[in-house]
Amino acid sequence: MSQNGHKVIGTRPIRHDGVDKVTGRAIYGADIQLTGLLHGTVKRSPHPHARIKNIDTSRAEAHPGVRAVVTAHDLPQIADKLADLGEAIVNLRDASNNVLAYGKVLYKGHAVAGVAAINLHVAQEAVELIDVEYEVLPHVTGVLEAMEDGAPILHEDMKTTSMGEETDKVSNIANHFQHKMGEPDDGFAEADVVIEREFTTQTVHQGYIETHNATALWNEEGQLTIWTSTQGAFSVRDQMAEILQMPVSKVKIVPLEIGGGFGGKISVYLDPVAALLSKKTGHPVKMTMTRDEVFEGTGPTPGSYLKVKMGATSDGRLTAATAYMAYEAGAYPGSPVGAGAGCIFTPYDIPNVQIDGYDVCVNKPKTNAYRAPGATNAAYATETVVDEISEKLGVDPLEFRVKNGAKEGTRRADGPVHPRIGCIETTEAALNSEHYRSSLAKSANGKVRGRGVASGYWFNFNGGRSAISVSINPDGTINMLEGSTDIGGSRASIAMQLAETIGLEATDIKPYVVDTDSIGYTDVTGGSRTTFGTGYAAHATGQALIREMKERASKLWDVPADAIDFEDGVFSYRDDAEKRGSFKEMASQAGDAGGPVVAQVSTNPDGSGGGAFATHVVDVEVDRETGKVDILRYTAVQDAGTAIHPSYVEGQMQGGVVQGIGWGLNEEYIYNDDGSMTNASFLDYRMPTTLDLPMIETIIVEVPNESHPYGVRGVGEVPIVPPPAALANAIYDATGVRLRDLPMSPPRVQKALAENGG
């Protein structure tokens, strides 16, 4: 038995889908084989910004083995319409134009045509035979340059919305918003220490190992089926219905296993193209991206410019903070600057705050969610400034965070008031950790060492819609159908909550992620919502099953249902100790008393996803000669509310940390003057490997979320937030030089040290 009286929650069972995944039998999106299958690929723009004058597909269509070619002219032209895809609001006209460019291409890699052929090589040959005539236009890839008057304009009809009002100004700034609380000028006047710094971050990619894929079959009755890897099958269904202008009832999405997403597998790219090609050919069409297509043709997370100013009194109280946040949206509006603004000062209780956010179009791929989207850029700025203030005041940076930490009742600058949160508890756990209490030995090899800390916040989405459908087998096991993509162990974490509720073992539940015709609408696996939201539904399902089983017991025993209790997995009749049976015993008889036992439950909880806080401690060693930063030790502390399966909570923390380390130390889209990404491969876009890392230590804090029956908080996203800032603070501790531009890659560190005498 685990702690808190739970029998299943808090234990570490082997995940239900594990054997298939370690033996290579699990079927991922690209693994599907269908009779008559054709293979498709995409023709992409070589220019970052150009008008499409003409597309001639005749040579491609005449190429032996080619079955069909499609362009934007095969897509219905749709009006402006906003849709919520789960982690971002998207204009569906833009989504359509992003799938196949109409009129203009807005980034290198922008899709302009699709080809289906008898095999992938023939399709790739045909792509070279599509003749596109372009009028090349000036381009802009930097956020500040794109905001300047006179910058090349991506959307001639886009007027800046400012503070909620559309202006007359045509510019690349899609939106400017402001959050204000108190009077920052007064707050700064009270402060004894005020620090204002500028920061830049570069475009980075989620880097999931599985490339995007979609296989479509548009049958003769006009029914479209898509097999794909997605974070949200229903979101894909909605997007397909909108982009192809067809009823949702004509679209079925079959989610296959997904090889990572991190926010990047919500928007559709290939799915509508495969559908159009299938419609034209009458055959199923499979499309998969190459790795360079993933880098150049899907949604990374934005580069950004931030200016952050914070003030504190000499006794260590934060009095005011302001932030100017300009995020690249990429080709179409919709960067995560709004989410970043909701996170930027949230670990702190600051009375006077102003945040100005700018959503800016640039000639890069349309950005997308990436694990706590917007928050990592923001925390890099805030947490570095907080480190500097702590140093100026001569106080321990974690003590400073505890003193100024947000708690229940603290208002965020963007409005909401915190429910019960674990911000201070998490920071205190970091402060008291063996790692933080240990002393850092000096390097013996001429390199320099330092320690850094940083905190981070992510909202955790408020539940959302989830559906679960269960049937009880006569042996007492349960088939559990769900609509939530399992991207990293959520079959287990949801099944465990059902098992806990009805007194079974995790292995008694058989979870299946099913297609959109087989389960109720379920929101995306994103926003750290699944173990919270679909787990909430699992608990409700368990309650429904207990009610139903009491009814069955009532018939079997001929006693009133309301006199039957359910405790510790056993049903019993209050007035006769003989009349009792475990869930499994009752399940074997229940079918005789009213047919098979089934339940369908859907939920959309009102309460909070709980809010996630993390504080990280890192020790680094810096080679002043080369600028290379090695990580000696890393500890991540995080409030999980209640850890359902601690191994997978640790796994989320470790994985998030390492993505944050990559973002902090190496990863970036490197652009040349032509507006082309020059490092679109895993060789040149350098993600961390085993060799770059030590073990990642984890400390799970559990401050239960009052809005969930088991206290669950989302855990997936916040661990990516602190690492870049923690690393910057550690590098400063080692070298005496502050780095305010990401990534802190060897050439940049070396240059900064040379310029600043570090």
Q: Given the complex with another protein, which of 244 and 612 has the nearer CB atom?
A: 612
Q: How many CB atoms lie within 10 A of CB 281?
A: 17
- Taking the complex as a whole, how short is the minimal distance between the CB of residue 611 and another protein, in angstroms? 23
Token digits for 12?
């570490």
Q: Which is nearer to another protein, 33 or 439 (CB)?
A: 33
| Nearer residue to another protein within complex by CB, 587 or 640 | 640
Joined together, the tokens standing for residue 42 give: 């995409």
Burial class of residue 97, CB neighbours in 10 A (0-12, 13-18, 19+):
buried
- Min. distance of Cβ 436 from another protein in angstroms? 19
Strands 165-170 and 173-181: unpaired
**Distance of alpha carbon 381 from alpha carbon 400, whole angstroms:** 17
Residue 8 C-beta: closest distance to another protein, Å: 16
Closer CB to another protein, 245 or 681, in the complex: 681
CB of 527 to another protein, least distance (A): 17
Spatial strand order in the sheet of 352-361? 165-170, 159-162, 173-181, 352-361, 318-330, 304-312, 193-201
- Comparing CB distances to another protein, the nearer of 79 and 683 is 683
Q: Between the CA of residue 95 and those of 56, 239, 542, what are the distances in Å?
A: 24, 8, 39
Q: How far is the CB of 42 from another protein (least distance, A)?
A: 15
Q: What angle in degrees, to the nearest 10, is found between the helix axes of 92-99 and 233-243? A: 90
Q: Which is nearer to another protein, 91 or 534 (CB)?
A: 534
We find the least distance from the C-beta atom of residue 204 to another protein, in angstroms, to be 12
C-beta closer to another protein: residue 324 or 682: 682
CB of 651 to another protein, least distance (A): 6
Nearest CB to another protein, comparing residues 187 and 284: 284
**Residue placing its CB nearer to another protein in the complex, 12 or 392:** 12
The three-state secondary structure class of 656 is helix
- Do 200 and 482 meet the contact criterion of CB atoms below 8 Å apart? no
Closer to another protein by Cβ: residue 65 or 569? 65
- Nearest distance in Å: CB 459, another protein: 22
**Whole-number minimum distance, CB 370 to another protein, in Å?**
11
Query: How many C-beta neighbours within 10 Å does residue 721 have?
Result: 33
**Residue placing its CB nearer to another protein in the complex, 25 or 442:** 25
Check: CB of residue 458 under 8 Å from CB of residue 721. Answer: yes
* CA 83 vs CA 90, 544, 616: distances in Å: 5, 33, 36
Query: What does DSSP assign to residue 345?
Result: T
**Amino acid at site 743:** P
Cα–Cα distance between 251 and 236 in angstroms, integer? 9
Type and span of the H or E element at 162: strand 159-162
Q: How far is the CB of 454 from another protein (least distance, A)?
A: 17
Nearest to 671 by CA among 139, 100, 136, 52: 139
Question: Least separation, in Å, of the C-beta of 754 and another protein?
Answer: 29
Minimum CB separation of residue 296 from another protein in Å reads 14
Please report how close the Cβ of residue 616 comes to another protein at its closest, in angstroms. Answer: 12
Q: Calculate the CA dihedral of residues 534, 536, 537, 539 and round it to 10 degrees.
A: 130
Inter-residue contact 352 to 319 (CB < 8 Å) = yes
Question: Where along the sequence are the contacts to another protein (CB under 8 A)?
Answer: 12, 14-15, 17-28, 30-31, 33, 64-65, 121-122, 206-211, 257-262, 288, 290-291, 487-489, 645, 647-648, 650-652, 654-659, 681-683, 687-691, 693, 695-696
Q: How far is the CB of 538 from another protein (least distance, A)?
A: 20
Closer of 79 and 209 to another protein (Cβ) = 209
Q: Which is nearer to another protein, 335 or 525 (CB)?
A: 525
For another protein, which is the closer residue by CB, 594 or 694? 694
Rounded-to-integer distance, Cα 102 and Cα 120, Å: 25
Does an H or E element contain 43, and which? strand 38-44
Spatial CB neighbours of 621, under 8 Å, sequence gap ≥ 6? 443, 447, 448, 449, 629, 630, 632, 734
Q: Mind spelling out the 3-state secondary structure of 72-134?
A: HHHCCCCCCCEEECCCCEEEHHHHHHHHCCCCEECCCCCEEEEEEECCHHHHHHHHCCCEEEE
